[in-house]
């Protein structure tokens, strides 16, 4: 019931989600930290931009990415110059699309954790001799760890489930850009319901388990925000 | 050896503008109504308010002046805040180690082992802060602050959250700190009893400004200070144990005007004891009265008489070199025909003892 092509699509989805999550955590952490501390007057604009994928139809996002990264797009010259070639219809293109698409799901939980913890503990640590960087790693990040776990799981799960962006920017190239959600769509189109069922069940299970992990962690770490 | 503070901060329509000095390696209390800017002052001292202007200098260390602003983590000014002091993701032991690990070995003044023993913290070490009571959390926060071997320790109403039994133990420990480890302690309090018990010096604050500052006993004896008008009016008299009478279980405490008799036998000869005497516990008589249960009767001279409310007067008296207040009704003052320089006998009903 599950063909080699399906396995390859599943594997591609997992690879895409993994790389996206890693890159999102690296970009999202400083971004969320900056947002939680900054009083910059344009902060709401930046927050809006980050949150756009929450409301925008994925096809719109995918369409713009296709325009920008495609053959005649304004970014094509740059990616060509960097030796990356044309990113549309490539795994790198998918990765960029996924990162933008899942950014709010990663930034928001980390931002909320930083906000909930406030500056107090960091102030205490400062009077005990810890520098700013020291405080970030010894106090702020560990205290925000529930937010990080939620962010990583949501980022991973959300990328795993994306369809519209991937279809627009990646096309449907088996083994290269054909991810699980597209494979399911193809099976339905071809009236291969048994295969669609199997793959959908896999997606359902993975999504359920991942979301359940988020809620388990959230409940377990709720004491982190303990206030006297 | 003094620390000079002349700082100004305008924040959220509140202006803090202070100018005072405190003695190094002593315990200073900052006393004032809530909203008088005490906590803000502490935040200026430890460097957490970067918009503070002015200067803050301690001997050869400049924390702040026109050109310098030392960041909080380099000031060696540990602070115990009013609440939420502990790092909730770390165990008690990890909390204690936090500042300790960040001190260079040569600068370590207090060892972890010693503080665990002194404050009896053995049973708490593996616990997470969320499992501790508020008082225990404050205790750990004080221990952790001391372990960062600071030059100055700031306590923001920390003692009031600790239950009486443990508080005595912590106070004993804190009283030793300045001399033993060269640490200046500045604490905020709104508890006169606490201030009279541990503060060498006192800074009185109101509305972001300093009303007065100096030695605690001197400020207590100043009848111009606003709390001279309150129920808390009291004086502090420094005494030394001179004699212990085992038969009656009474100790004699010597001071400039004679000996106080107190119902205690657990004191040591020559031990220095602070007495706090509240004005309303002092009564006056024009003649020596033998027929009374009051043991502490001294000859005194009236030095000042001030109205205290509608029906009372605050009488300031001198017993040899020490001063004392009595709060009596206007009627009694009339009957005794009190006047400045009149000789009277003060009868002291009760004293609070701080050993």
pLDDT digits (tens, 9 = 90+) for B266-275: 888 999 899 9
The answer to whether residue A46 sits within a structural domain is: yes
- Does A226 sit within 8 Å of B87, measured CB to CB? no
- Count CA atoms closer than 13 A to B64's CA, side-chain side: 23
Q: Is residue A107 over pLDDT 90?
A: yes
Task: Identify the bridge partners of residue B259 per DSSP, sorted by sequence position.
Answer: B254
The answer to whether residue A44 sits within a structural domain is: yes
- Does B76 sit within 8 Å of A120, measured CB to CB? no
Q: Is residue A112 over pLDDT 90?
A: yes
Total domain count for chain A?
1
The answer to whether residue A38 sits within a structural domain is: yes
Q: What's the pLDDT score for residue B226?
A: 57
Closest CA to B56 of B292, B48, B66: B66
CA distance to A58, B153, B170, B193, per residue, from B177 (Å): 65, 10, 11, 20
Q: A97 to chain B nearest CA, in Å?
A: 36
Q: A44-69, pLDDT tens digit by residue? A: 999 999 999 999 999 999 999 888 88
How many angstroms separate the CA atoms of A123 and B122, rounded? 27
Joined together, the tokens standing for residue B128 give 């997470």
* Interface probe, candidates B69, B87, B97, B142, chain A, greatest A C-beta count within 10 A: B87
The answer to whether residue A162 sits within a structural domain is: yes
Q: Which residues contact A149 (CB under 8 A, 6 or more apart)?
A: A213, A214, A217, A221
- Does B73 sit within 8 Å of A130, measured CB to CB? yes
Q: B175-229, pLDDT tens digit by residue? A: 888 988 999 999 998 888 888 888 999 999 999 999 899 998 888 887 676 555 5
Band of pLDDT at residue A228, cut at 50, 70 and 90: very low
The answer to whether residue A124 sits within a structural domain is: no
All domains in chain B, ordered by first residue: 2-221 (3.40.50.300), 234-348 (2.40.50.100)
Full residue range of the structural domain in which residue A75 is found: 4-117+144-220
Band of pLDDT at residue A78, cut at 50, 70 and 90: confident
Joined together, the tokens standing for residue B272 give 């220095």
CB distance B185 to B153 below 8 Å = yes
Joined together, the tokens standing for residue A217 give 């962690």
Q: What is the separation of C-alpha B226 from the centre of its chain, rounded to a whole number of angstroms?
A: 17
Q: What's the pLDDT score for residue A70?
A: 81
Q: Is some CB atom of chain A closer than 8 A to the CB atom of B63?
A: no
Give Rg (Cα) of chain B.
Answer: 23
The answer to whether residue A128 sits within a structural domain is: no
Q: Is some CB atom of chain A closer than 8 A to the CB atom of B94?
A: no
Below-70 pLDDT ranges, chain B: 223, 225-230
Which CATH number do you get for residue A170?
1.10.3720.10
Nearest CA in chain B to A144: B89
Q: Is residue A225 over pLDDT 50?
A: no
Q: What's the pLDDT score for residue B118?
A: 85
How many angstroms separate the CA atoms of A46 and A55, rounded? 15
Q: What's the pLDDT score for residue B228?
A: 54
Q: What's the pLDDT score for residue B234?
A: 87
Is 0.90 surpassed by the pTM of this model?
A: no
Sequence-separated contacts (24+) of B301-304 with Cβ below 8 Å: B301/B341, B301/B342, B301/B343, B301/B344, B302/B338, B302/B339, B302/B340, B302/B341, B302/B342, B302/B344, B303/B340, B303/B341, B304/B223, B304/B340
Q: Is some CB atom of chain B closer than 8 A to the CB atom of A209?
A: no
Strand extents, DSSP E, B42-164: 53-58, 61-64, 77-80, 152-156
The answer to whether residue A127 sits within a structural domain is: no
Q: Please list, residue by residue across A83-101, b when 16 or more beta carbons sit within 10 angstroms of its beta carbon and e when fewer do.
A: eeebbbbbbebbbbbbbbb
Q: Is residue A84 over pLDDT 60?
A: yes
Q: Is residue A194 over pLDDT 70?
A: yes
Q: What is the separation of C-alpha A139 from the centre of its chain, rounded to a whole number of angstroms?
A: 25
- Does A143 sit within 8 Å of B72, measured CB to CB? no
How many angstroms separate the CA atoms of B254 and B260, rounded? 6
Joined together, the tokens standing for residue B78 give 């540990």
Cβ atoms < 10 Å from Cβ of A56: 15
Interface ipTM: 0.78
The answer to whether residue A54 sits within a structural domain is: yes
Q: Is some CB atom of chain A closer than 8 A to the CB atom of B1?
A: no
């Amino acid at each position: 019931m599950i063909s080699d092509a399906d396995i390859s699509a599943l594997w591609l989805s997992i690879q895409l989600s993994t790389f996206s999550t890693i890159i999102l955590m690296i970009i999202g952490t400083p971004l969320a930290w900056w947002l939680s501390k900054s009083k910059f007057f344009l902060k709401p604009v930046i927050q809006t931009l980050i949150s756009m994928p929450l409301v925008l139809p994925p096809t719109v996002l995918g369409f713009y990415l296709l325009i920008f990264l495609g053959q005649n797009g304004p970014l094509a010259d740059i990616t060509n110059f960097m030796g990356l070639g044309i990113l549309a219809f490539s795994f790198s293109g998918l990765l960029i699309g996924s990162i933008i698409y899942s950014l709010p799901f990663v930034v928001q939980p980390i931002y909320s954790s930083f906000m909930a913890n406030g500056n107090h503990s960091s102030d205490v640590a400062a009077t005990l001799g810890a520098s700013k960087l020291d405080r970030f790693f010894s106090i702020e990040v560990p205290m925000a760890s529930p937010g990080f776990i939620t962010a990583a799981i949501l980022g991973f799960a959300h990328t795993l489930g994306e369809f519209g962006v991937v279809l627009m920017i990646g096309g449907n190239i088996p083994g290269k850009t054909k991810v699980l959600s597209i494979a399911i769509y193809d099976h339905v189109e071809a009236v291969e319901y048994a295969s669609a069922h199997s793959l959908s069940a896999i997606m359902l299970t993975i999504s359920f388990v991942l979301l359940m992990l988020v809620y388990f962690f959230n409940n377990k770490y709720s004491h982190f925000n303990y206030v006297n | 050896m003094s620390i000079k503070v002349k700082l100004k901060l305008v924040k959220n329509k509140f202006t803090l503008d202070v100018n005072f000095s405190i003695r190094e390696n002593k315990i200073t209390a900052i006393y004032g109504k809530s909203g008088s800017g005490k906590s803000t002052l502490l935040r200026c001292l430890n460097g957490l308010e970067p918009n503070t202007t002015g200067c803050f200098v301690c001997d050869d260390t400049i924390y702040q002046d026109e050109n310098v602003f030392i960041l909080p983590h380099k000031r060696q000014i540990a602070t115990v805040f009013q609440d939420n002091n502990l790092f909730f993701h770390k165990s008690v032991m990890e909390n204690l180690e936090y500042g300790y690990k960040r001190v260079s070995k040569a600068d370590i003044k207090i060892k972890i082992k010693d503080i665990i023993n002194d404050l009896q913290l053995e049973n708490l070490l593996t616990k997470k802060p969320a499992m501790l009571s508020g008082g225990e959390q404050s205790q750990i926060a004080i221990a952790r602050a001391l372990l960062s071997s600071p030059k100055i320790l700031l306590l923001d109403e920390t003692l009031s959250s600790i239950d009486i039994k443990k508080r005595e133990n912590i106070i004993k420990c804190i009283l030793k700190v300045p001399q033993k480890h060269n640490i200046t302690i500045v604490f905020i309090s709104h508890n006169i009893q606490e201030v009279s018990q541990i503060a060498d010096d006192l800074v009185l604050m109101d509305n972001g400004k300093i009303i007065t500052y100096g030695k605690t006993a001197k400020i207590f004896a100043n009848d111009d200070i606003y709390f001279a008008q309150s129920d808390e009016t009291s004086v502090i008299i420094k005494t030394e144990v001179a004699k212990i009478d085992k038969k009656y279980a009474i100790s004699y405490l010597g001071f400039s005007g004679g000996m106080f008799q107190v119902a205690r036998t657990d004191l040591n000869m020559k031990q220095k004891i602070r007495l706090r005497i509240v004005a309303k516990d002092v009564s006056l008589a024009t003649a020596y009265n033998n027929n009374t249960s009051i043991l502490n009767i001294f000859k005194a001279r009236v030095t000042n008489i001030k109205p205290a409310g509608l029906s009372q007067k605050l009488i300031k008296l001198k017993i040899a070199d020490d001063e004392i207040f009595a709060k009596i009704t206007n009627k009694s003052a009339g009957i005794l025909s009190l006047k400045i320089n009149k000789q009277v006998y003060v009868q002291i009903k009760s004293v609070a003892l701080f050993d």
